[in-house]
Amino acid sequence: MKITLPGKAATFQANQRERAEKQRKQLGVEARSWYRITNAASDTEAEVMLYDEIGGWFGATADEFIADLRGITAPNLRVRVNSPGGSVFEGIAIANALRSHPANVTVQVDGIAASIASVIAMSGDRIEMAPNTMLMIHDASGVCMGNAADMAEMGELLDLISDNIADAYAARAGGTRAEWRDRMRAETWYLPEDAVEAGLADEAVQTRKTAEPAEPDEDDQPDMVRPFDLAAYGYTGPRREQPKAEAGLTEDIRSLIGEEVATQLRAAVTLAEPAAEPAPQAPAAEPVDEWSALVAALIPDDTDDWSALVSHLTDPDTSSSAATDA
């Protein structure tokens, strides 16, 4: 199918980059990296993470991503996507670069693949939707300043871009451009199972459960779960009660002197032991007069103290009397 772009479409992407560069200079910020590549030279699988806006006002451009993509020599490539979208033409360039890469490309949606990020997802040889992720498709949008002719041309360009995106969905999932445009105009959101049913993904990955861990050996246990070792403080374990020795001669002595002699010695020792004296008994307590005990505190034992307390009642001070009479 041949697509004829409007006259100003050739400069549309260049204008986007120019405006983005001016915006960054005004705000004093540098273009941030919106992707990361690891294990590029692995013998098994390399990984690309698209975890931000695609290109856009603050993102890097597609040519930087494609230059780094060329350095991947791994036979398998996993592209992990969590992006709200971004620049249409930057995203299309990335999608085509992934399609043309010699590695087997698996796209894994980790969070959201919306707008042009969903188009990038369509470039994978296999598309997987992680649990609870979403994929969103909608019509292209843009900003235009100018007269009516400029606005009409911008509208024509946006319709053409949306048709182009609809073709990407139709090539992956089947159906017609018109059918996908209807879904795009409605801004359709897909859960993992819905994306698989619509043909936009190959698998809704289920949560993987790990097997029950084997019982670790004592040497393999982490320090925090090992029993605390008190040997450094001289602790040798709980103290055990020693068994009491048998009264009289031990078996070892019996074996030396003979059983008959040991029996005679046992009898002699028993006769020589004095009889145990009975324990002394405490003297019987005298009977206690409860009434006397209660009033004892009320009756003073020292008569002199009692006289001192009542002396001012029986022997008035003469000086006090004199002062009163005066």
157, 140 in Cβ contact below 8 A? no
* Cβ contact 116:91 at 8 Å: yes
- Helices (runs of H) and strands (runs of E) counted in the chain: 12, 8
Q: How large is the C-alpha radius of gyration of the chain?
A: 51
Query: Catalytic pick from 83, 115, 118, 123?
Result: 115
Distance of CA 62 to the CA centre of its chain: 35
Catalytic residue check, 138:
yes
* CA distances, 16 to each of 55, 133, 181 (Å): 10, 30, 24
CA distance 266 to 258: 12
For 160-171, b where at least 16 C-beta lie within 10 A, e where not — what string? Answer: bbbbbbbbbbbe
Tell me whether residue 285 is exposed, middle or buried, using C-beta atoms within 10 angstroms of its C-beta: 0 to 12, 13 to 18, 19 or more: exposed
Burial class (CB in 10 A: 0-12, 13-18, 19+), 137: buried
Residue 269 DSSP SS3: helix
Q: Can you spell out the DSSP letters for 199-255?
A: TS-SEEPPPP-PPPPPPPPGGGS-GGGSPP--GGGT--S---PPPPPPSSS-HHHHH
Name the token pair of 64: 């930087």
Catalytic residue check, 115: yes
At which residue do the structure tokens 């405490």 appear? Answer: 282
The answer to whether the beta carbons of residues 164 and 88 sit under 8 Å apart is no
Question: Could you give the residue numbers annotated as active site?
Answer: 115, 138
